[in-house]
Amino acid sequence: MVALGVEPPDFRLLEPLAASLARTFRVPGEVGREWIDVGFSYNAQRGQYWSTAILERLASMTDGTFRLLGVTPVDLFVPVLTFVFGEAQLTGVCAVVSYARLNEEVYGLPAHPELVAERLLKEAVHELGHTFGLRHCDDWRCVMASSHSVERLDTKTAEFCTRCACGAAIRP
């Protein structure tokens, strides 16, 4: 796991996330101590960062890496959507997730760090699921269900349904 940002990030979210992902995927995970400046992906017109450009940069850094997850506080986009919580290479090794829109304060509500951590885990598992070849699932409780809002993200679990777990050789 690698931290991404435009200034040195807060690593406190990353260690618990890495531990949860290690349990989910049953592989050890580590958090890199360096961070990557994603200023190169900034689109001034949108005021957001292009997730595909970040993925390309991450891909250039993978040399025999099992999976590489980038985690960032910046707001991500792809050209056809207003924003994305994350993006991944389908059957690739890289994924990126943002917690910019996972914070309750963005919606005028009081801070809720536990909810942010839960949402970030769901989004990270979802994007990493894509790297295992999984597509969006019709089961709204499955972590692979599509989420275009935090409300939708909150309705699903952080677990793969049986079909998705078997489809990617991931055991629930």
Looking at the annotation, which residues are catalytic?
A: 127
112 vs 161: CA distance, rounded Å: 27
17 vs 167: CA distance, rounded Å: 24
Q: Which of 31, 34, 32, 71 is nearest to 54 (CA)?
A: 71
94 vs 65: CA distance, rounded Å: 9
163 vs 161: CA distance, rounded Å: 6
Q: Show the tokens assigned to 41.
A: 């992906």
Length of the chain: 172
98 vs 116: CA distance, rounded Å: 11
Phi, psi angles (nearest 5°) of residue 24: -65, -45
C-alpha dist (Å) from residue 123 to 60, 63, 160: 23, 24, 12
